[in-house]
Structures are given as structure tokens and as C-alpha cells.
Structure 1
């Protein structure tokens, strides 16, 4: 395993973290007696394998159902100083409620403290306010630090880049968990801001949210050769020293194996990546046209400012991925969250595009004339049964 300094925490964090949202039994709290023995055994085997590999950062959240409770049966069996344990609690208006929820997490984990406490889902200005206002969640987190129950405080986010940068620029957080990988590089300015503040940078779900890369389409496999899409994406992310760790959401011990191939390639990233990056760009241009590939996102309105609150940017992005790389299954999964993902995945689908007038909100887009028809094509290609966020299933 390779390690990087996790910003001002000074923790030496493994470049791969063991994420805790795929191996648990349920997305709701259940009694320990309800957890099947084989499920618990698989979770414990996954954690043992992670620690054997040097992947000693174990990451979970109060919102991950039975994950914390099940981890509480295995984590106390390791020497505490060997582990870096992170849990996450969503910010709420009432700081006392935040504390109560954290105490539940700590009790389930059967630990005296966590190394990292993330405020889970600072996705908009309101949730940032809940976090940083006097008496808010961050003040509670500071009290927990003073009591020895938390070592470092950060935040996770699915929010817009400007919201993430606003949170970073408070200089109140030690680290950030955010999305950034090959198919979604919008948050690079936030990573740059975190670097300026010497914060740890943790990449959320690069294999699942980064394209369902554990089940990639043949076209993407061919474009990423000689690497697998998963190893390519890992190498792409970790070739940037500003990125410290990638979360691997393992469902079973073997799920780490493909990722480990990345470790021996890191020293040669500058030699390996350019040809693959060129192939990916050429394929997108061949399918979509160079002008569109390089300028589709220019001057698009935010979802709040569009008729019907259609999330034009996200819909076009998913259409691009499905069209250029055959990432249809991934795009369908994400598209059908629209209208149903609350602040985690905001805005609506393009199902009513023929009834809406986008001329005003697209007035500054170089592709204003084409976008409505592309939105309609996207809906036709991607619409299906509505998808709920995992924590709501």
C-alpha cells in the first residue's frame, strides 16, 4: 500500500480507503440479531482483507443503515492505533440533535473515538449555514474534539462547486470528501482550494459514481486498454498529488484486487495515461463533434434558473457519456434520480422539454438552438423507472 499525507491532519492515509456502503445488510437500522451470519462474516472478511492490505482507513456514515453497527463487531478487534476510522453525520438545524446522532454512531462502532468526523452532505447554502453558524454542528464537533471523541473534522458533499469552495474557504474543516474523476472533473477548483488550505482530499465513489466501472461497456474497455477502466480511473485520479485517497466501496474481499494493480503503475502515470486520454477524447469528438465536446457546458443555466427546473447540465453530461462511451446503464441510473434525489441530486428530468421554452435561459449558450432537441433525445434514451438514492430504499 502507498500512503499520502492527509493535509493538515498529518495522518498518513492509504491511497485506497475502505468505504462502508456496499457490504452492510440493510440501508436501515436493524437489530444485530436480524443480520444474517453470512452477511456479517463477509463484512468482517472484507475489513480483515482491507487491513491486511494496509488499507487501514475504514469509512462509513450514520446514513449507511446497519454499516456502523456491523463494523462495531470487528473494528474493536484491531489495535486502535492501527486504524483510521471515519464516520459521517448529516448537518441539521439543531446542534443537540447532531450530537445525539453522533453518539449513536460512536455507540454502534463500539469505539471511544473516531479519527475523522465528516459533516455529511453539505450540498447547499442552507446546510452550510447549519454547519458553521454559532451553536451549529461545527461547534458541536469542536466540543466532541475537546472531549476526545473526534480527532479531525471535515465534510462530504455532492453539492455544486461554488458551495464546496465556500465551505472550504471558511477554513474550518480539516478535509473534504467530494466527487472528482475522469468523467466528472468539474470540482477541480474545489480541490485546488482545499490544497491551498492544506486540507485532506478524499474522492467519493470513483468506481461506482465514476461510471459503474466494475461493469464497464465494451467500448470503454477498448478505449482504456491496456488498463481496465477501473485501473485507468484510479491512476488518473492518483496521478494528481492533490488527491490523497480514493474510496473503494467493497461488497466482498475480492473487490480490492483490481484496484491494487494501480499501485505499481503510479510511478509511470505520466508515461501511461496520455495515450489513453487521447483515445478517450478522440472517441468523444468522433461521436459528438469537437465544438460540442469542448464547449457544450459553456454558459448553461443552473437548474434553479430553468423552466421546470430541468437540470440541463446534468442531463447533457449523461447524454454525452451514453453517446460517446456507451455508458448507458450508468447514465440511466443517474438520470432517473433526477426529480427524486433531493439536495443530493437536484433538479428534474427533461421529460417535459417539448412543453417548455428554454430560449431565455439558454440565451448565452453557443448551442442554444440544439440543446432542446438533445434534451429530448436524452430523455428518450435514458428514461426508465425512477431510482431512489440507496439510503432511501
Structure 2
């Protein structure tokens, strides 16, 4: 395993983290006796395999259902100083409720302290206010830190880049969990800002949210050769030293295997990546047109500024990926969260175009004339059954 300094925390963080979203039994708290023996055995085997590989950062959240409780049966079996344990608790208007939720987390984990506490889902101004106001959740987190129950404090976010920058620039947090990978590089300026503040940088779900790379389409496999799309994406992310760790979200012990192939390639990233990057860009241009590829995002309105609150940028982005790289299943998964994802995935689908006039909100876009047609194409391509976030399932 390779390790990187996790910003001001000075922790030696493995470049892969064992994220805790995919191996737990249920997305709500359950009685420990309700957990099937085979599910618990698989979780424990996954954690043992992670630690055996040097992936000693175990990441979970209060919002991940039975994950913390199930981890509490295995984590105390390891020497505590060998582990970096992170949990996350969503900020609330009532800071005492936040403290109580953290107490539940610590009790479930059966640990005296966590190394990293993340304020989970600071996605908009409301949750930032819950966090930063005097006596708010951040003050409680700092009290927990003074009590020795938390070593370092960070935040996780699915928010817009400008908002993430606002939170980072408060300089109140030691690290950030955010999205950034090959198919979605919008948050690079936030990563740069985190670097400037000497914050740790943890990338959320690069294999799942980064394109369902556990089951990539044949076209993407061909474009990423000789690497698998998963290893390509890992290498792309880790070739940037500002990125410290990638969450793997393992569901079983074998899920680490493909990722491990990345480690021996890191020193050669500058030779391996350029031909693949060029091929991916060339395919996008060949499929979508150079002018569109280079300017489609120019002067797009926010979803709040758009009639029907259509998240135009998100819809066009998913259409691009589905059209250029055959990421149709990924596009369907993400598209059908629109309208259901609350502050985690805001805005709506393009399903009510007939009754909307988009001329004014698109007036500054160089592609104003064709965007409505593409939105309609995207809807026809990607619509399916409504999807809930995993934690809502």
C-alpha cells in the first residue's frame, strides 16, 4: 500500500480507503440479532482483507444504516493505533441532536474515539448555517475533540463547486470528502483550495459515481485499454498529488483486487495516461463535435434559474457521457435521481419541456438553439423508473 500525508492532520492515509456504503445489511438501524450471519461474516472478511492490504482507513456514517453497528463487532479486534476510523454525522438545527447522534455512532462502533468526524452533507447554506453558527454543530464537534472523542474534523459535500469553495475557505475544517474523477472534474478548484488550506482530500465513490466502473460498457473498456476503466480512473485521480485517498466502497473482500493494480503504475502515470486521455477526448469530439465538447457548459443557467428547475447542466452532462462512452446505465441511475435526490442531487428532469419556455435562461448560451432538443433526447434515452439514493432505499 502507498500512503500520503492527509493534510494538516499529519495522518499517513492509504491512497485507498475502505468506504462503508456497500457491505452493510440494511440502510436503517436494526437489532444486531437481525443481521444474517453470512452478511456479518462478509463484512468482517472485507475489513480483515482491507487491513491486511494496508487499507487501514475505515470510513462509515451515521446515515449508513447498520454499517456502524456491524463494524463495531470487528474494529475493536484490531490494535486501535493501527486504524484510521472515520464516521460522519449530518448537521442539524439542534446541535444537541448532533451530539446525541455522534454518541450513537461511537457506541455502535465500540470505540473510545474516532480519528475523523465528518459533518455529513454540507450541501447548501442551510446545512452550513447549522454547522457554523455559534453553538452549532461545529462547536459541538470541537467540544468532542477537546473531550478526546474526535481527533480531526472535516466535512463531506455533494454541493456546487462555488459553495464547496465557500466552506473550504472558512478554514474551519481539517479535510474534505468530495466528488472528483475523470468524468466529473468540476471540483478541481475546490481541491486546489483544500491544498492551499492544507486540508486532507478524500474522493467519494470514484468507481460507482465515477461511471459504474464495476461493470463498464464495452466501448469504455476499449477506450481505456490496456487498463480497465477502474484502474484508469484510479490512476487518473492519484496522478494528482493534491488527491490523498479514494474511497473504494468494497462490498466483498475481492473488490479490492482490481484497484491494487493501480499501485505499481503510479510512477509511470505520466507515460500511461496521455494516450488514454487523448483517445477519450478524440472519441467525445468524434461523437459530439468539437465545438460542443469545448463549449457546452458556457453560460448555462443554474437549476434555480431555470423554468421547472430543470438541472440543465446535469442532464446535458449525462447525455454527453451516454452518447460518447455508452454510459447509458450510469446515466439512467443518475438522471432518475433528479426530482428525488433532495439537496444531495438537486433540480429536476427534463420531463416537462413542452410547457416551458427556456429562451430567456439560455439566452447567453452559444447552443441555445439546440439545447432544448438535446434535453428531450436525453430524457427519452435516460428516463426509467424513479431512483432513490441508496440511503433512501
Cα offset for 1:353?
1.1
Deviating 4+ runs (over 3 angstroms):
none
1:205 is paired with a residue whose SS is coil
Q: Deviations over 1:51-80 (max 9, x none)?
A: 000000000000000000000000000000
Which whole-Å CA distance do the structure 1 matches of 2:364 and 2:197 have between them?
34
Residue 160 of structure 1 corresponds to 160
CA distance in 2, matches of 1:215, 1:187: 25
Alignment correspondent of 2:300: 300
Does residue 353 of the first structure (1) align with residue 353 of the second (2)?
Answer: yes
Provide the rounded CA distance (Å) in 2 between the counterparts of 1:359 and 1:136: 43
Aligned equivalents of 1:115 and 1:215: distance in 2? 33
Match of 1:24 in 2: 24
Aligned-pair CA distance for 1:117:
0.1
Match of 1:108 in 2: 108
Counterpart of 1:145?
145
The corresponding residue for 2:171 is 171
Q: Which residue of 2 aligns with 1:65?
A: 65
**Deviations 1:173-197 (CA, angstroms, capped at 9, x unpaired):** 0000000000000000000100000
Supply the distance in 2 between the matched residues of 1:383 and 1:370 (Cα, whole angstroms).
20
Matched, 1:190 2:201: no
1:355 Cα deviation after fit: 1.5
Q: Distance in 2 between matches of 1:150 and 1:16?
A: 22
For residues 291 and 122 of structure 2, what CA distance do their matches in structure 1 show? Answer: 34
Spell out the pairing of 1:1-393 with structure 2 (5 A cutoff).
1-393=1-393
Shift of 1:126: 1.1
2:8, 2:236 → 1: CA distance? 24
CA distance in 2, matches of 1:123, 1:321: 24
Count the aligned residue pairs: 393
Q: How many angstroms apart in 1 are the aligned matches of 2:349 and 2:133?
A: 34
Tell me the TM-score normalized by structure 2: 1.00
Counterpart Cα distance in 1 of 2:243 and 2:374? 34
Deviation at 1:48, TM superposition (A): 0.1
Please give the alpha-carbon distance, in whole angstroms, between the structure 1 residues aligned to 2:372 and 2:201: 37
Distance 1:65 1:340 in 2: 19
**How far apart are the structure 2 equivalents of 1:171 and 1:322?**
38
* Structure 2 alignment gaps of length 5 or more: none
TM superposition shift of 1:354: 1.9
**What is the distance in 2 between the residues matched to 1:97 and 1:161?**
28
For 2:154 and 2:242, the matched residues in 1 are separated by: 16
Q: CA deviation at 1:83?
A: 0.0
Counterparts of 1:360 and 1:352, CA distance in 2: 17
Q: Secondary structure at the match of 2:388?
A: coil
Work out the CA distance in 2 between the residues paired with 1:129 and 1:170. 12
CA distance in 1 between partners of 2:317 and 2:383 (Å): 15
Q: Tell me, in whole angstroms, the C-alpha distance in 1 between the residues paired with 2:258 and 2:383.
A: 32
